[in-house]
Chain A
């Protein structure tokens, strides 16, 4: 038995074997059963989802479905703006915020007839790697609920891995889709910056953020990516490029003869869990066995990616999060005597510790006297990092990397911020370069039986190439659907 994928559900709906109402009810029941143990959601949209499902079934009965996935449930991370539905970013400062508009991606899901069934938990404002930073409590890893699911898209990972929804959307600023996907044993993709509109994605770091699919298999990723991609006149940074039929194109490639770069800086073994390393090494061998040529390369500036990332991301976040001040919306402290007090207290009471830490880091990095040493320097290192990527991708079609140095870890194990930041050592450079990448389930650690992910990266807007390789790689790895987690809806 395996968890049904969205493309399987789509076929069942198309064949009339089930209805959207039935599916939605089933998933709502699964959520009800497992939610106390997983805590994937901040908001579950019971009534709204069922009403949408009824409308979907009417379309299938009397009109035309809006898309092959009309009627299929989906969850979105709670940093995506949903009109009329609370959007909290897992922060106290937005715990009562009901947006008067829809984000572009959510609108696209609804335009495809999909049923938004819940708003998934996350680290507050997507800042974290464990989902422990949620103001509404952490999410738990379905493979072992004592462990964290990773983050920041932890809820989006647990709801898919735990069978509460067939698929979901996360957002990835420095690995926030790929790392929890790896820790929960699912597929997670960060598209190229500009592929998916950011309009309605609550900004953490605007030059790094990107929405992407979190699914049970590569085929679902291809379908969901197609649905959310495309040019948006409301996002100046979205790319005006056609959207291929990814699921169709995905089947047309072969790894045979492809060159896959293996950057030595990703494979030093330093800080790497031995069990994870074994699984990743085996996966790389599998690539070779499929006929890919593994090319050893060096990307010398990768070692600076954490420093570079935390300067760029926090600088942008310090400005992006300035708007939460209790004036026009969101949490406001009681009884402030003047405006400065209202701002300072509302923000102090509304934000959690990690968010405050990053706002202060970013403010410091941009402040007079430090700008050149920190922010400006980081932008130059970013150029060098990007050049490393370009050089590697000139020598090879793809890049292979581990996703996380460690498997899922116990809650509270990474109290020191620096140790938490190290969780993203293999993921965040990709966001700085802006290119696309995917984490695939590569296997399980021998001792704990915890999922391990492996990443493939490709250049700008090379999602087709990435998915072609992933589709074949996934089949060869044979991990998807091979085991069920401890908690399954």
Chain B
């Protein structure tokens, strides 16, 4: 199925990607091709087939409720593009 420029814009907003006009056009074409190929899955009858989200049937993996040391604040913030005191700093939210 064809993916329109509007579809690309919607998906780009959901994925927080600012795209140029050229990129939008290119991705619309490429995604149309790829999702066109994926349409082949409709040929398969999956009635009653359970989904596989995990390759291994692992169950009940827990961690006990015991405190381990956290990172020192300086290490937690060492990679921050911007900070103020002990806090991460970002452009205004509201």
Contact = CB atoms under 8 A, between A and B. Distances in A.
Direct A–B contact in complex, judged by CB atoms less than 8 Å apart:
yes
Interface of A: 96-98, 100, 192-194, 207-208, 233, 236-237, 239, 301, 303-304, 306-308, 310-311, 318, 322, 325-332, 336-345, 347-348, 351, 356-357, 359-361, 363-364, 367, 373-374, 376-384, 386, 417-418, 421, 431-434, 460
Contacts of B50: 380, 383
A336 B8 contact: no
A367 B11 contact: yes
B91 to A, nearest CB: 5
Contact of B80 (A208, A329, A331, A460): A329
B3 to A, nearest CB: 7
A357 B31 CA distance: 8
A374 B38 contact: yes
Contacts of B71: 100
B3 A364 contact: yes
Interface string B34-73: 1101101110101001111111101001010000000100
B12 interface: yes
A359 B15 contact: yes
Given A379-B51, A384-B49, A417-B30, 18 more contacts: A193-B55, A237-B58, A239-B58, A306-B37, A311-B38, A322-B15, A325-B16, A327-B88, A332-B82, A341-B18, A344-B18, A347-B17, A357-B30, A364-B31, A367-B10, A374-B35, A381-B41, A383-B51
Contacts, number: 163
B43 to A, nearest CB: 8
A381 B44 contact: yes
Interface residues of B, number: 50
A434 B51 contact: no
Nearest to B92: A338
B19 interface: yes
B81 interface: yes
A341 B8 contact: no
Question: 8 tightest CB-CB pairs across the interface, nearest first?
Answer: A434-B55, A379-B51, A329-B79, A332-B81, A380-B46, A344-B18, A348-B18, A343-B16
A320 B80 CA distance: 19
Nearest to A343: B16
For B23, B38, B41, B55, which residue has the most chain A Cβ atoms within 10 angstroms? B55
A351 B11 contact: no
Contacts of A374: 35, 38
Contact of B90 (A327, A331, A348): A327
A367 B6 CA distance: 14
A97 B79 CA distance: 6
Nearest to A340: B16
For A100, A303, A351, A418, which residue has the most chain B Cβ atoms within 10 angstroms? A100
Nearest to A236: B61
